[in-house]
């Protein structure tokens, strides 16, 4: 399992804002869950991490950052 944050530099849709907009978990099966933070708290399930990047990346304006490498990412403990 790997964890990420979805870091948005520019909000081209005007919906989710900028900064950390979601927490992302990629399971060992490849299934990936996106938990949106603001303003609409919701959850999405994707078949792959790549689909999250393609759908939400907006040409590099939003990127997946490993949680361990971002100082404001929530910590995960199991």
**What are the backbone angles phi and psi of residue 39, rounded to the nearest 5°?**
-85, -10
Using the Cα atoms of residue 35, residue 37, residue 42 and residue 44 in order, give the sign of their dihedral.
Answer: negative
Structural domain of residue 10, as residue ranges?
2-69
Question: What's this model's pTM, rounded to 2 decimal places?
Answer: 0.79
The pLDDT of residue 38:
73
Residue 16 has pLDDT above 90, yes or no: no
The pLDDT of residue 74:
57
With a CB cutoff of 8 Å and minimum separation 6, the contacts of 35 are 22, 23, 24, 25, 41, 42, 43
- Residue 76 within a domain: no
Number of structural domains in the chain: 1
With a CB cutoff of 8 Å and minimum separation 6, the contacts of 3 are 23, 24, 25, 26, 66, 67, 68, 73, 76
pLDDT tens digit sequence for 18-63: 788 889 999 999 999 999 987 778 999 999 999 999 988 877 778 8
- Residue 62 within a domain: yes
The pLDDT of residue 73:
61
């Amino acid at each position: 399992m790997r964890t990420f944050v979805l870091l948005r530099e520019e909000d081209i849709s005007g919906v989710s804002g900028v900064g950390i907009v979601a927490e992302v978990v990629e399971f060992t099966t490849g299934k990936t869950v996106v938990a949106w933070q603001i303003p609409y708290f919701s959850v999405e399930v994707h078949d792959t991490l790549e689909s999250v990047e393609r759908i939400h990346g907006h040409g590099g304006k939003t990127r997946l950052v490993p949680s361990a490498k971002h100082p404001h990412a929530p910590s995960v403990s199991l």
